[in-house]
């Protein structure tokens, strides 16, 4: 005797070995023996064999018309044998065959939209209105399936359907795996055995590599677009005193967000006062205001070669940027010191209008104010005839002194063995690049005199204000580093902890409020200290242990990391473009680690076959391979060794394992299987 039974939502058949009141012992065709509850045994039969019986029932089941069966079915609850009798038997009094009953059972079980399950082998037909809704849903699902197949066929033939093109970045990086567009890409990828990224590129969905990188960045970080809503740019209304200084800024020519300027008084008197003047949008932009919400949404200006996305609307920036020829509202730190020894005698912070006499530009003046200029021992009087030379000469000596003092505190000197690289695109209008502009890459040695002057002044301001906030019990946003031990990272927090990398007791970013939200927050806190002194902690916008500060830190960390990652990636894109435009096929490079080498004259790290096993620091000539502008990949092969160096366990100072080595390859989400960063950067 055989039995057809239900087990875990499936219908199986087997030989009955033994039978009790509540259960049966059944042997399947596979030889497996299982215990079946009696209530789950739906049909008993003597022939044919179980496999043959089930196959015949399944074949007959496919011929049952569901609409007709639904019409025949009783309005009340019924069993599968009842429906089989009504559907198959011309004589209502004659039961259907066991095969017909089994066919009815399988058909009813597989059509829940027509018949609801009411128990083992029992059903009730769905109400007409529910049935119609279910049938419409099934029809829609079938249409979607046909659409998926059609789209997949188009992709396989090298053409991208418009709906998939519109969903490109979502499909690749944040897919809805139930979406038809995603399923079509997966289906096409499987059928063609081509990876999703390559498939979409071949089908024309990715027409511009540059736009691919830029639009991906916007998709992930600016989903609502890059424009600002219309807002009223606030102006400060406070009657501020006019500072008795002539201040000057030092930036690149392309800089529009001029956050900081310097002034020097008292040269030649024995006591000198250094003024560090920071643009003060915090005097008018209030926490919680419309402009503040815009700044907090972006958290930082985004920089890229030839273009930038500012943190604040341009009309706000223009109100507070330290433009030459204007008296600009500023938060000023005055540091009074001995002119010769540089011993600091006092510091004071003031809110005031600062006359900006000049906007000095690196790219114009670096060739004049270089190391040779500052180290010259002849024609000293002539040097002082150059505009701002007297101030810059003194500030350069001060900067070297401040740096040396920090190096004592950090325990070792700061080494700038690699240059900074400047990218310039042939897009004079300043409009968004298209990705095919001519690119020029130039070098600028880290720690150049003008850079050093600005960097040391900003470190002095950020560390001084950080300590002042702590002394008054006013919380701020700090950058700290516990030690210079390998793996110890720079962290952000609300406590004034030491920054070992910079060699200062505390460090609160406060000198770039037009382009970094943390600096704007700290500026609000500093303004409260200026106005209220010892009681500032009671009235400052952010109180100790304020949850808002921690939320800002968390958001800024994530955004700043994403922005820097994009900047690194898009600079790699333009570096690869530079190689193509210049027809460069070979490079001199330095072995870095594993099989990686770093180009000596370009900001490029790349894998090189034949480099594995070379000592770190070994210089080689490599032949470049193909460039992939989408994944930002480029390969190379070592052609010859250019020097012989001893392999040592200690990496050279410019071989930092923790730095970002490469922006590629691109990681996508389609599953076919289902230290110096803390210093103000000139030019930003």
pLDDT tens figures, 11-49: 999 999 999 989 999 999 999 999 999 999 999 999 999
d(CA 229, CA 312): 11
| Tokens matching residue 86 | 């009504």
φ, ψ of residue 381 in degrees (nearest 5): -60, -40
What percent of the chain lies above the pLDDT cut of 70?
93
- Any idea which of 1-5, 112-116, 410-414 has the lowest mean pLDDT? 410-414
Indicate the domain borders of the chain: 2-126, 130-207, 247-414+448-544, 565-674
- Any idea which of 189-198, 221-230, 520-529, 668-677 has the lowest mean pLDDT? 668-677
| Tokens matching residue 248 | 């000057």
The pLDDT value recorded for residue 676 is: 40
d(CA 511, CA 282): 12
Confidence of residue 659 (pLDDT cuts 50, 70, 90): very low
DSSP 181-210: HHHHHHHHHHHHT--HHHHHHHTTS---HH
Select from 594, 607, 659, 616 the least CA-distant residue to 634: 607
The pLDDT value recorded for residue 93 is: 74
Per-residue CA distances from 561 to 144, 302, 567 (Å): 40, 11, 10
Per-residue CA distances from 211 to 171, 431, 518 (Å): 16, 14, 30
What percent of the chain lies above the pLDDT cut of 90?
69
Cβ neighbours of residue 415 under 8 Å, at least 6 residues apart?
Answer: 653, 654
Cβ neighbours of residue 128 under 8 Å, at least 6 residues apart?
Answer: none
Select from 389, 393, 334 the least CA-distant residue to 358: 389
Average pLDDT over residues 259-268: 96
Confidence of residue 480 (pLDDT cuts 50, 70, 90): very high
The pLDDT value recorded for residue 672 is: 61
d(CA 351, CA 343): 25
Average pLDDT over residues 262-279: 96
Q: What's the count of helices (H) and strands (E) in the chain, helices before strands?
A: 20, 24
The pLDDT value recorded for residue 666 is: 59
Pairing of β 633-641 and β 605-609: parallel
∠569-575-577 over CA atoms, to 5°?
105
Note the pLDDT tens digit of each residue in 523-559: 999 999 999 999 999 999 999 889 999 999 999 999 9
| Tokens matching residue 219 | 């998709």
Confidence of residue 644 (pLDDT cuts 50, 70, 90): low
Average pLDDT over residues 403-414: 89
d(CA 378, CA 282): 46
Distance of alpha carbon 561 from the chain centroid: 6
d(CA 44, CA 57): 14
d(CA 137, CA 132): 9
Quick one: fold of 2-126?
SH3 type barrels. (2.30.30)
Q: Is the pLDDT of residue 274 over 50?
A: yes
Query: How high does pLDDT run on average in the chain?
Result: 89
Q: Is the pLDDT of residue 647 over 60?
A: no
d(CA 660, CA 656): 9
d(CA 266, CA 583): 55
| Tokens matching residue 331 | 């938060």
- The tally of CA atoms less than 13 A away on the side-chain side of residue 420 is 13
Select from 237, 249, 428, 241 the least CA-distant residue to 319: 237
CB contact at 8 A, 402 and 503: no
Exposed/middle/buried for 4, CB within 10 Å: 0-12, 13-18, 19+?
A: buried
- The tally of CA atoms less than 13 A away on the side-chain side of residue 24 is 23
The pLDDT value recorded for residue 654 is: 40
Q: Is the pLDDT of residue 519 over 80?
A: yes
> Radius of gyration over alpha carbons of the chain, in Å?
37
Q: Is the pLDDT of residue 616 over 50?
A: yes
The pLDDT value recorded for residue 254 is: 80
| Tokens matching residue 128 | 């007409």
Quick one: which H or E segment has residue 598? strand 596-599
d(CA 76, CA 124): 6
**Most confident option among 58-72, 382-396, 407-421:** 58-72
Q: Is the pLDDT of residue 413 over 70?
A: yes
Q: Is the pLDDT of residue 429 over 70?
A: no
pTM of the model: 0.79
282 secondary structure, DSSP code:
G
Average pLDDT over residues 338-363: 94
CB contact at 8 A, 410 and 501: yes
The gap between the terminal CA atoms of the chain, to the nearest Å, is 86
Per-residue CA distances from 612 to 199, 472, 592, 607 (Å): 33, 55, 10, 9
d(CA 143, CA 153): 15
Cβ neighbours of residue 378 under 8 Å, at least 6 residues apart?
Answer: none
Average pLDDT over residues 130-158: 91
Q: Is the pLDDT of residue 263 over 60?
A: yes
Q: Is the peptide bond before 101 cis (omega within 30 degrees of 0)?
A: no
The pLDDT value recorded for residue 661 is: 47
Exposed/middle/buried for 340, CB within 10 Å: 0-12, 13-18, 19+?
A: exposed
Select from 458, 504, 398 the least CA-distant residue to 259: 458
Average pLDDT over residues 348-371: 89
Exposed/middle/buried for 648, CB within 10 Å: 0-12, 13-18, 19+?
A: exposed
Average pLDDT over residues 468-480: 96
φ, ψ of residue 212 in degrees (nearest 5): -60, -50
d(CA 404, CA 459): 13
């Amino acid at each position: 005797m055989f039995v057809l039974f239900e087990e875990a939502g499936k219908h199986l058949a087997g030989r009955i070995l033994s039978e009790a009141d509540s259960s049966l012992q059944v042997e399947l065709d596979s030889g497996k023996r299982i215990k079946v509850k009696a209530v789950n045994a739906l049909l008993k039969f003597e022939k044919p064999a179980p496999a043959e019986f089930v196959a015949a029932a399944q074949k007959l089941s496919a011929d049952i018309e569901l609409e007709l069966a639904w019409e025949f079915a009783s309005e009340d609850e019924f069993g599968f044998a009842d429906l089989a009798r009504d559907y198959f038997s011309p004589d209502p009094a004659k039961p259907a065959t066991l095969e017909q009953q089994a066919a009815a059972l399988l058909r009813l079980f597989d059509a829940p939209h027509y018949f609801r399950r009411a128990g083992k082998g029992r059903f009730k037909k769905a109400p007409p209105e529910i049935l119609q809704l279910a049938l419409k849903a099934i029809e829609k699902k079938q249409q979607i399936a046909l659409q998926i197949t059609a789209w997949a066929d188009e992709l396989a033939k090298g053409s991208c359907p418009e709906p998939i093109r519109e969903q490109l970045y979502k499909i690749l990086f944040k897919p809805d795996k139930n979406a038809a567009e995603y399923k079509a890409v997966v289906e096409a990828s499987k059928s063609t055995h081509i990876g999703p990224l390559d498939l979409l590129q071949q089908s024309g969905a990715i027409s511009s590599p540059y736009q691919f990188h830029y639009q991906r960045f916007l998709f992930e970080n600016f989903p609502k677009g890059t424009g600002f809503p219309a807002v009223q740019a606030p102006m400060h209304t406070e009657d501020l005193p006019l500072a008795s200084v002539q201040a000057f800024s030092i930036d690149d020519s392309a800089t529009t967000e001029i956050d900081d300027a310097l002034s020097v008084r008292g040269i030649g008197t024995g006591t000198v006062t250094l003024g560090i003047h920071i643009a003060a949008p915090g005097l008018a932009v209030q926490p919680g205001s419309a402009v503040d919400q815009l700044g907090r949404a972006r958290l930082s200006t985004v920089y890229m070669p030839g273009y930038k996305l500012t943190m604040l609307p341009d009309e706000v920036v223009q109100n507070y940027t330290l433009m030459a020829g204007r008296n600009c509202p500023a938060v000023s730190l005055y540091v009074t010191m001995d002119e010769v020894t540089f011993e600091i005698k006092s510091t004071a912070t003031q809110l005031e209008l600062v006359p900006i006499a000049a906007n000095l530009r690196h790219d114009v003046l670096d060739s004049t104010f270089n190391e040779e200029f500052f180290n010259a021992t002849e024609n000293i009087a002539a040097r002082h005839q150059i505009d701002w030379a007297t101030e810059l000469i003194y500030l350069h000596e001060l900067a070297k002194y401040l740096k040396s003092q920090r190096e004592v505190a950090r325990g070792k000197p700061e080494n700038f063995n690699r240059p900074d690289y400047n990218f310039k695109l042939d897009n004079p209008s300043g409009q968004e690049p298209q990705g095919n502009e001519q690119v020029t890459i130039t070098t600028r040695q880290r720690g150049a005199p003008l850079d050093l002057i600005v960097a040391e002044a900003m470190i002095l301001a950020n560390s001084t204000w950080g300590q002042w906030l702590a002394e008054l019990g006013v919380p701020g946003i700090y950058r700290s580093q516990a030690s210079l031990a390998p793996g110890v990272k720079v962290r952000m927090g609300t406590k004034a902890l030491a920054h070992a990398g910079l060699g200062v007791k505390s460090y609160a970013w406060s000198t770039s409020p037009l382009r970094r939200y943390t600096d704007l927050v700290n500026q609000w806190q500093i303004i409260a200290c200026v106005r209220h002194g010892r009681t500032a902690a009671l009235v400052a916008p952010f109180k100790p242990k304020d949850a808002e500060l921690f939320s800002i830190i968390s958001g800024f960390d994530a955004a700043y990391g994403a922005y820097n990652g994009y900047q690194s990636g898009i600079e790699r894109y333009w570096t690869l473009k530079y190689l193509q435009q210049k027809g460069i096929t070979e490079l001199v490079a330095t072995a870095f680690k594993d099989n990686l080498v770093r180009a000596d004259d370009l900001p490029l790290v790349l894998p090189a076959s034949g480099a594995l096993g070379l000592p770190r620091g070994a210089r080689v000539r490599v032949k470049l391979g193909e460039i992939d502008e989408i994944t930002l990949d480029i390969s190379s092969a070592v052609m010859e060794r250019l020097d012989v160096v001893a392999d040592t366990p200690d990496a050279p100072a410019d071989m930092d394992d923790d730095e970002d080595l490469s922006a590629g390859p691109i990681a996508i989400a389609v599953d076919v299987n289902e230290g110096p960063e803390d210093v103000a950067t000139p030019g930003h």
